[in-house]
Structure formats: structure tokens, C-alpha cells
Amino acid sequence: KVTMEDFSLFQQNINPGTHQKLTQRTVLSGVRFFDFQCSAPKSVSIMSIWDKRLIEAHKMAVTEAMAELELLAAARIRKGDNVRTHNIEITGNIIYASFMHDTSRALDPQLHTHNVVVNVTKNAKGVFKALETLEMCRAIRYAGKVYHNRLCQECRKLGYKLVDHRDSKGNIVWKDIAGVPDDVMKLFSKRRQQIEEMEAEFIAKHGRKPTLEENNFLAVSTRDRKMLTSDKEAVQVHQLAQLSEEQISILEDIKWHAQGGMIDEIDVEIAKKSLKQAISIIYERDSVVKMDKVLAEALNQSLGSNTLEYLKELAKQMPELRNLGGFKSNPWVSPEEVIERELYAVNSVEEQIGVFEPIAPDFTAFQREESRKKQAELIHGMLNSKDRFNLFRGVAGAGKTSTLQELCKGLRSGGINSIYVIAPTNSATDVLKQEGFEASQTVAHFLVSPQKPPKGSYIIIDESGLNSLREGVEILKTARLNNYRVLFVGDARQHTAVESGDLFRLLEDHSKIQKFSLTEIYRQQNEEYRRGISECALGNFGSAFERFDRNGFIHEGKADYLNQAAESYMKFTENGQFIDRSILVAPTHDEGDRLTEAVRKSLKAACSVASSGREAEVFRSWSKPKSWLKDASNFTPGTAIAFIRNMKEIGKAGETAIVEKVDNGILYLDNGKCLYAKAASDFIEAGEMRKIELCKGDLIQFNVNLRDRKIYNGNIARITDDPGKVMMLYPDGKPRELIDLPREYRTFKYGWVTTSHKSQGRTAETVVVAAQSLDRKAFYVALSRGRKQMALHCPEKEFLKKQLSHSGDRTSVHDLAEKGEISPDVLIPLSEDARKRKRAILPDFSYKSIKTRAEKFMAELKRIAKRVSEFSRRIKARRARDA
């Protein structure tokens, strides 16, 4: 226990024992403490008026959460080889004070505890150091789930039934006590309403959402003085006076039925299911994470069903997970298949070094073009390479397209006429087709299609930074099987795949693949603009930001920044007459919606878009991972689903339906059909329906492929006078062809604004970006789309600049080994004997391999043919006997 006086000294960075400075540095503007608040769900707080056992349940949950928080306490290592690194050490100790309250500042029932953690910890040598902020934030997120899990456990022990509380996108947030009326919870949420009003005022003033720290300040600054002279009884009388007799009767009845006796034993099956679900959700988009992230998601999947200790023990035994080492209290973990894929990718590339003869050693690229000297040298290097796999890093605007066009000439001069240029996305292939690579196709189509290019072909993969590790391994296997040579073209500082694993960066950073680079930028014609993009390409984002700001490219608009961005777009496109001249970018749905509204208002005023039109209902995806879609319990009546590909006799690609009922894993839809969620995850997306106005001249963007109409995800079209027809556009905004749009196709949105992900690969004279926050990848990609001019509009420059500390890179197993966070032994391939033993207990992941799927399909066809043949033989024999 620490006295209040000592605690106050700790907060001032003073050692209570010596009254000397506690840590080495005292940062005046630094973080003095962290406030980790454990707040009970509103239903629990309300019921605690009648059932004081819930207050004890809350206390037990807080104690367990803080114990877990303390286990993850860490400090930076700043000595020796670690001086300039972000390496940390786990200290496992904190100093904190807890302050429990049972009401909000509005005197509503709100059971919560403020755990004020001093920003200090003591390492193994007894030295006091500041807590590592990033690790502390990670620990707080995890401890929050620990709190809710333990609270749910205690509520169930007391006899309460619980129901999931989900947010607007179907995510489980916590569990509520079943039966507490919604109107009562709304009645006692006045404090939340006050804070939301203040948040709205903040947004109106600053043009952006408040940060966590700013939210905390709002909460403090908007507090009314409590009834300091009133005792608890008076407050309770005040609370009960707001309820009707019927409401009080309902709540008392809930308490009366909660008489305990519902102490459940550990449910092994639920625990295993929740861990498997957590693994599926997390590793669909990440290759490696710390154990606390897996446990937090597993707890969230089954709040109150199992103890934390049991889940920890079970996680150690899960064959799907491999403990990579690191800190004992929170090790790095990854699925075995991820490690296998990383090893295969690196080893496969290195095994194929020097297996060919040079293609065209005598070819001269860009003859008599002195300005293309560096590109020519790079092409000569590629044509002289003896390796199966090469990597070409071209920074944004470095002239990759012209380099590839000249490379193809060199390949043909060396006798290679079978050249295929592919890309990960439909929008990227559209750009390639416009640039002369007319036979371009997506990577997915290339891998799935049974009609592969001839053996010995040369495969160029543009924007290969968008290839996931799984796709990359399939490409490597296909290349070796068909004797292809492959050139990976991309830039690791630009966007990566949504799916886990960044193949391009893995090969560039961790393999001996022969690398070729173009770093001189030609796209930007304004010298300062070009220098700023060059600094981004080199990773100097602070310098780039300052250069752009000095030269008038960055505009601070507070709450008016979106309207100002719309004005820039109207200026660059001459009131919307020449939409091919500019690309309009916003990073989030919310900003995109509001920017679209501002642009359409201006376009209507300029008569570039009709003043009125028709109403259309369209689908907005929640972008849920497949593992989420497979779990029917995630769907509730009213959830919209969209078919992203044809599902026989249930729905066609682009169509939508509403979930009416969920029963035993089956979704019953308003179109009269039903589907089994587990089998439908490859065919559907979950989301919501929205109504938009479509006027003549409006742009829409398609989100689902309709191959028979030549509509692909990312394509842009213009609305015409005819509701059934749209004018398809090329990526540069020029008309392509008039097509019929099916009446039931609803998977599209306005096409005026795009994201930085969608804009990657595109170029225009100008680019307008509107954002309150961008990470490094989005900043680099979005701002580099223009040739002549760029305008970045933001609410606050300093806030935006701070966000550039986020790289956007995802960690690989090889990254951890290189940094020394895990042992390099993790990357030693397993022996064949060990591999067989592992395979015997691991789940079958072969269904994710396209080659394996094809082999299994052919084997099944052979088995069916054999059964049919045997059946026919028996029929003939029977007929012969009967004759």
C-alpha cells in the first residue's frame, strides 16, 4: 500500500524515500500517469441499485484486470546496442491508486473504477524508469477484456442471464444483463449524452474527432458538481424517482430470479472454439502478434464462459499456434503455416539463383536517350540476370511503366515472346491495359485459371506490394512448376495487401533476391513537389511534410477543411468539366461521405450534375474477415448481406438481402432463401443498406464483379438519363462504353472520392487529399498521384504531422528474428520427420492451396467416374442375368 502523499510524489517523478529525482529524465510535458477506467455495462450499474453483490463482482473484475496489466508493464532499454532501438524489457510492476464510484457526474447509476497508474516502473536492476507508452496502451486494451470476462463470470454465478451488446457494425463490445429495458438504460445515460454533445462541439470547432486524451479532458471539463452534501441514500432516492412503477417492478423481478446456483464448470468446447475463432480472425490479416492479442479476442468471443487462466493454458496447447519466444509473460505467437510460408518464399527464391542463362546480354535499351540512362542500366541488369526471380523497386513516379515497356522489347529480342503482365487488383490491371499491356489480368485469375501461360514464359507482376504472403507462395510454386521467370515490381513503402503477409517486403528485406531500383522521380513537374515525394520515398516523412507546408501544398481548414478540398477539386477540374484532370482522395468512409456531399453540392451549383435525380438503395460493407462471416451468431435480424459472387439458387453477384432470422447456423433472408453461414463466407459480405441520390452526371464506383457486363471491382461509371444504363469510364475518366445496369445490382457507391488504397497505380494532373489523419503509406501514395499540382486539406497541421509516426508496416517472423526479439532458430526448417509429426496434429490448411484444391477436385471426379462405371457394370450384369 502507498500513502496519498507518497503517491503524489511518485506522480511528480520524486522518490518518496530520498526526495531525489525518481527516473533519469523529467519531461515537463510528458505523461505523468495513465488512467485505466474499468466501467461496468449500464445494465450492471442499474441492477447494482438492487443487488449489492454486483459491486463486489465489479471489484473482483477490476483486481484481475489490474493484475494482468501489471504483468505486461515494460520500459525501454536505452543502453549499449539498444540505444537507438525500440527494444523493451518487461518489468512486471506498477504503482497505481484505485478510486471507485457508483454514479456518473449526472448522478446516473454508473459503477466504475479509475485506476491511476503512475508513469514509473522498476527494472530487474532496481532502476526506476518510465513505462513504455505503446506497451501500456496494448496492455490496457487487453486488460479491458479481462475485466469484462471476469465481470460476466461473476454475474453468471449470481444467477443473471447475459446477452451480447454489439456496436453498429456487429462487433461484440460487452454483455448486458438480460431483461433490463432499453428505455431505462437510455434514461440513465445522460452523462454519455452530455459527452457526445461536447464531442460534436469539438468536431464542429476542430474539424476532427478528439483523441483519447482529448476525450478524457472533455469528460473532466464538462463535469457538473456532484451533490457533495448528499449521501448515497439521497442519490438512490433521486435515481428511483425517475423510474415508473412498472420499470421498478421489471428490475426487481430480474433481481428476484438471480438467486445464484449458475456456477458453470469450465466448458472445454467453448474455450477451444473461442480460441480457434480468435486465431482465424487475427491471422487473416496479421502474420505474427503477441499472445495478449489472441487472448483478448478469445475472451471477447466467449465473455464469461471460461476463466482467463484456463484460456492461457489451452492456448499453449493449441497445435495451430507456435510460441516464437520473446517475453515469457507475453510471447510472440504465429500459426505454423505462416512460418512455413515465409521460409518457403525466402528459400524458394534463393534456390533459384543462377539457374538460367542471360536473356539478352547485347540488347541496348533507350538508345540515344541520355535522360534514360539509369533506366537503361536497370533493364540491362534484368536482361543479364541468371535468376528465376528478380525484384524491381520503383518509387512512385519513377517511370516504371516506360521501363517495363522497354524491358518487354529486350525480352523479345532475346527470344522470349510469351510475356504476361499481371497485377493484384482490377483497377491496377485497368491502368496496365491503358498503358499498352492489353492482355493484363489479375493475380487471382492467373492463379485460378486452368489455362496457364506456356512454359518458359516471363511473368511481370506490377504493384506486387499488394500481394499477400499466401498469394506470393502460390506464385512462386506456379513459376517453378511451369519454368517461368518472374519479375516482382512494387514499392514496399506503398500499400500492402489486406490479407496477412507482405511478400514484396519479405523478399526485399530478408532474401538474397537480385534487386533493381529506380529512385529518381519524373512524374512531378513542380520541383518542390517532386523533392517532397522523393523524401517520402526515402522514408523522411517529417522533412517531406515541412517542405510541402512551406510551399503551400498543405492547407489547414479546421472544421471547413472538407469544403475547402471540394473547392480545390472544382478549381482543378474546371467545375467538374474535366474529371480526368484530378483524383480526389479521403482515407475514411466518414470523410469520404462528407467530402462527396460537399463536391456534389458544388457540382450541382455549376450544373455539372443535375439538380435532382432518383433515390437508390445501396450496400455499405463492414469489411468483416471470413472467419467472422462463418459464425452465424454474428448476424442479427436487419443485417444486410451482399453477394460478391453467384451463389446458385440463392443470390447473384451484386444483389443484396436482409437477414430476417438466425437459427442453428442458418441465415433466413427476406428474399425467401436461406443459407448456411459457414458455407457462405466466400460468397457474401455483411453490412448495411443506405439510400443515396443519383443524378445525371453523378459518378458511381462498382464494388462487385459482373464479368458478363465487363464490370469489375473499382470500375467507375457515370449516371445517364436512363435509369437502366450507365456510361463506363476508363481510369482516367474518359468514356468507355454504355452498358445496362441490372436493377438488382446494389453493390456500388458514389465514385467522386476514392481511398489511397484504390488510388494506388493511378495518375492525374492533380490530386486533392482531405484527411484529418494519415499514416506514412497513405500519405506517400495519396500525395504522389499528381503530376502538376497537389493540395492536402486537413483540420490541423500539427495533428496530421504527428500521425506520420505510424509506418503502417506489419511485422513478419523474419522481422522479429532480425531485430533479436525472437531466436533465429525459429527460422530453421523442420526435419521431414518433425514435419510429419506436426502434420499429424495440425489442422488441414491444404484447402487454401489452389493447386491442392485442383488435385482434390480431380481426384473426386475420378472417384465419381469410377463409382458410375461400377454402377453401370452392375446394371448391365443384372440385365444380362434377367435376360
Q: Tell me: the pLDDT tens digits for 552-566?
A: 999 999 989 999 999
Q: Give the percent of the chain with pLDDT over 90.
A: 53
Q: Picking from 140-149, 176-185, 395-404, 534-543, which range would have the lowest pLDDT averaged per residue?
A: 395-404
CB neighbours of residue 274 within 10 Å: 22
DSSP 720-766: -SSTTEEEEE-TTS-EEEEEE--TT---EEE-S-B-HHHHTT--EEE
Whether residue 388 contacts residue 479, with contact meaning beta carbons closer than 8 Å, is answered with yes
Q: CB of 515 within 8 A of CB of 508?
A: yes
| pLDDT grade for 139, boundaries at 50, 70 and 90 | confident
pLDDT digits (tens, 9 = 90+) for 482-509: 999 999 999 988 888 888 889 999 999 9
From 39-53, 207-221, 345-359, 382-396, the region with the lowest mean pLDDT: 207-221
Paired sense of beta strands 419-423 and 458-461, if any: parallel
**Positive/negative CA dihedral, 274, 278, 279, 284:** positive
Lateral strand order in the sheet of 109-118: 33-39, 109-118, 96-103
Position 21 pLDDT exceeds 90 = no
CATH code that applies to domain 525-606+752-806: 3.40.50.300
Per-residue pLDDT, 461 = 96
CA distances from 873 to 74, 609, 866, 867, 869 (A): 73, 70, 10, 10, 6
565, three cell numbers: 478540398
The full DSSP string for 791-844 is: EEEES-HHHHHHHTT-------HHHHHHHTSS-GGGGSPPPHHHHHHHHHHS--
CA nearest 287: which of 499, 67, 515, 590? Answer: 499
- pLDDT tier for residue 857 given thresholds of 50, 70 and 90: low
Q: Collapsing DSSP states into helix, strand and coil, what is residue 716? A: strand
Q: Which fold has domain 617-691?
A: SH3 type barrels. (2.30.30)
Check whether domain 352-518 has CATH 3.30.300.30, yes or no: no
Task: Using the predicted structure, report yes or no on whether residue 223 has a pLDDT greater than 70.
Answer: no
Q: d(Cα 334, Cα 320) in Å, to the nearest integer? A: 8
CA distance 392 to 527: 25
Distance CA 847, CA 679 (A): 13
- Extents of the domains making up the chain: 4-257, 266-335+811-836, 352-518, 525-606+752-806, 617-691, 699-748, 849-883
Looking only at the bridges linking them, the beta strands covering 514-518 and 666-669 are unpaired
Computed over every residue of the chain, the mean pLDDT equals 87
CA angle 586, 592, 593 (to 5 degrees): 170
With a cut of 70, say whether residue 26 has pLDDT above it. no
Q: What pLDDT, on the 0 to 100 scale, is given for residue 28?
A: 55
Mean pLDDT, rounded, for 152-175: 90
pLDDT confidence band for 137 (50 / 70 / 90): confident
**What pLDDT is attached to residue 224?**
52
In this prediction, residues 269-294 reach a mean pLDDT of 91
pLDDT of 545 strictly over 90: yes
Percent of the chain residues past pLDDT 70, beyond the cut: 90
Of residues 426 and 406, the one with the higher pLDDT is: 406
Q: Assess whether pLDDT exceeds 60 at residue 83.
A: no
Burial of 18 from C-beta contacts in 10 A (0-12 / 13-18 / 19+): exposed
Q: Who's near 443: CB < 8 A, 6+ residues apart?
A: 422, 423, 424, 461, 467, 471, 475
**Terminal-to-terminal C-alpha distance of the chain:** 99
Q: For residue 513, what are the contacts with CB-CB under 8 A and spacing of at least 6?
A: 349, 350, 387, 389, 390, 391, 488, 507
H or E element, residue 102: strand 96-103
The neighbour count for residue 580, using CB atoms within 10 Å, is 14
pLDDT tops 90 at residue 150: yes
Mean pLDDT confidence for 284-309: 91
In tens, the pLDDT along 623-659 reads 998 889 999 989 999 999 999 999 988 999 999 999 9
For residue 228, what pLDDT band results from cuts at 50, 70 and 90?
very low
User: Which among 552, 597, 599, 606 is positioned nearest to 574, based on CA atoms?
Assistant: 606
**Mean pLDDT value of segment 336-350:** 93
Q: Which of 246, 818, 265, 792 is nearest to 551 (CA)?
A: 792
Task: Let me know if the fold of 352-518 is the same as that of 525-606+752-806.
Answer: yes
Q: How many angstroms separate the CA atoms of 29 and 218, rounded?
A: 19
Average pLDDT over residues 317-337: 87
Residue 227: predicted pLDDT: 45
Q: Which residue has the higher pLDDT, 768 or 1?
A: 768
- Cα separation of 569 and 586, whole Å? 12
Give the pLDDT of residue 31.
66
Give the mean pLDDT of 70-97. Answer: 78
- Span of 189-193, 282-286, 807-811 with lowest mean pLDDT: 189-193
Instruction: Catalogue the E-assigned strands of 27-83.
Output: 33-39, 74-76
Q: How far apart are CA 755 and CA 775, in angstroms?
A: 13
Q: What is the pLDDT of residue 265?
A: 64
pLDDT of res. 221: 56
Question: What's the pLDDT score for residue 660?
Answer: 95
Quick check: 844 pLDDT over 50? no
By 3-state DSSP, what share of the chain in percent is helix, strand and coil, each rounded to 5? 45, 20, 35
Rounded alpha-carbon distances, angstroms, from residue 782 to 191, 550, 594, 760, 790: 40, 19, 18, 7, 10
> What is the arithmetic mean of pLDDT over 534-549?
94
| pLDDT mean over 404-417 | 94
Domain covering 266-335+811-836 in this structure, CATH number? 1.10.10
Q: Residue 129: pLDDT above 80?
A: yes
Between 252-261, 303-312, 716-725, the lowest mean confidence (pLDDT) is in 252-261
Cβ atoms within 10 Å of 678's Cβ, excluding its own: 12
